[in-house]
Amino acid sequence: MTKPRILVTRAVFSEVLDHLGEYFEVQSNQADEIWSKAQLVERLHGKLGALTTGSERIDTELLAASPMLQICANMAVGFNNFDLDAMTELGVLGTNTPDVLTQTTADFGFALLLAAARRVTEGEHYLRAGEWRRWRYDMFAGAEVHGSTLGILGMGRIGQAIARRGAMGFEMQVIYHNRSRLAPDVEAHSCARYVGKEELLRSADHLVLVLPYSQQSHHAIGAAELAMMKSTATLVNIARGGIVDDLALADALGHGRLAAAGLDVFEGEPTVHPELLALKNVVLTPHIASATIPTRKAMAMLAAENLIGFLLLGQPVSPLNPQVLGSPQQVQRKGRATGTPAG
């Protein structure tokens, strides 16, 4: 019996490919090339599913050119590379990889917070440049973390994990703002207090961003919001590029209106705004908050299980648009794959 054909759009662990190969005919990209849209469409020809990353934009044009495609399984918790409305309209399921990266990403958020607040990278660059010749009372004196006020914008699983680290590990006062307030028991477990966004910005000594990207959250932190923050505050973004106005942030950091920042995501990444690159008081990392081997393997395996669960059993593990399941548009795509007319 012929196996269904799928595409893996970026390099991935060999054991994940072996696992997929038990069920599918797999075309992979272990050379890890970045394909143009035309190249991606060409490789999707005849494929029922794709294991995707944030590098691949899945939109109306691509879906219309890939009539047999039934599922895109993102190896990420975020999915702003998906036009989910278009996918739903055209009968294509989207999935992501929640939960498996929560603790690892929360760890990294705190690593960025500590590095920025305590001026770790500034000190390292100073040392490596051979400039450390004597001690001085205020040499790279940064901000306190323990006992300070931690603000969290976006209070999903990762936000809650960061809150617990701050409250339990560093005895911080934790405040948060979210689109909707947490249930009382979840709020208590997170050791966090709900406040309005303006109070969050004005009160936080350290502000961590973990909200999903959408048109509504675009530039949620811009010049006006930065102006509300303490000049001694630290801003950490481990969410998505575009949530922060990077140019406004660079201006605030450069003119002393904000003390420091730690950024793992950027507008237009992998390009980073040159004004951010020129600053010493910002820690910059290349979108690696989930980058441990166990976590990345878990993410890839969950994406694989979504492909297997959906294409073989009709039961994806973590669907983003479950209303697609059994829809006329999806039935039509399945009919194209099997040669069976819809209806």
> What pLDDT does 337 receive?
80
Percent of the chain with pLDDT over 90: 95
Supply 322's token pair: 């479950």
pLDDT averaged over the chain?
A: 96
Which residue of the set 240, 267, 296, 333 is catalytic?
240
* Chain segment 70-113, per-residue pLDDT in tens: 999 999 998 989 999 999 999 999 999 999 999 999 999 999 99
Domains belonging to the chain, first-starting first, are: 5-99+293-338 (3.40.50.720), 102-284 (3.40.50.720)
> What pLDDT does 341 receive?
52
Which residue of the set 19, 57, 219, 287 is catalytic?
287
* Chain segment 275-285, per-residue pLDDT in tens: 999 999 999 99
> What pLDDT does 343 receive?
47
Q: What is the CA angle 152-207-286, rounded to 5?
A: 100
Look up 287 and say whether it is catalytic.
yes
**Beta partners for residue 137, in sequence order:** none
* Whole-prediction pTM: 0.92
* Model confidence band, residue 298 (pLDDT cutoffs 50, 70, 90): very high
Considering only CA atoms, which of 47, 39, 65 is closest in space to residue 4? Answer: 47
Indicate whether 12 pLDDT > 90: yes
The answer to whether 89 touches 329, Cβ cutoff 8 Å, is yes
Considering only CA atoms, which of 159, 203, 212 is closest in space to residue 181? Answer: 159
* Model confidence band, residue 338 (pLDDT cutoffs 50, 70, 90): confident
Supply 162's token pair: 């960061």
Sheet holding 71-74: strands in order across? 25-27, 5-8, 49-52, 71-74, 93-95
Q: What is the dihedral of CA 244, 246, 248, 253, to 10 degrees?
A: 110
Which residue of the set 219, 269, 273, 336 is catalytic?
269
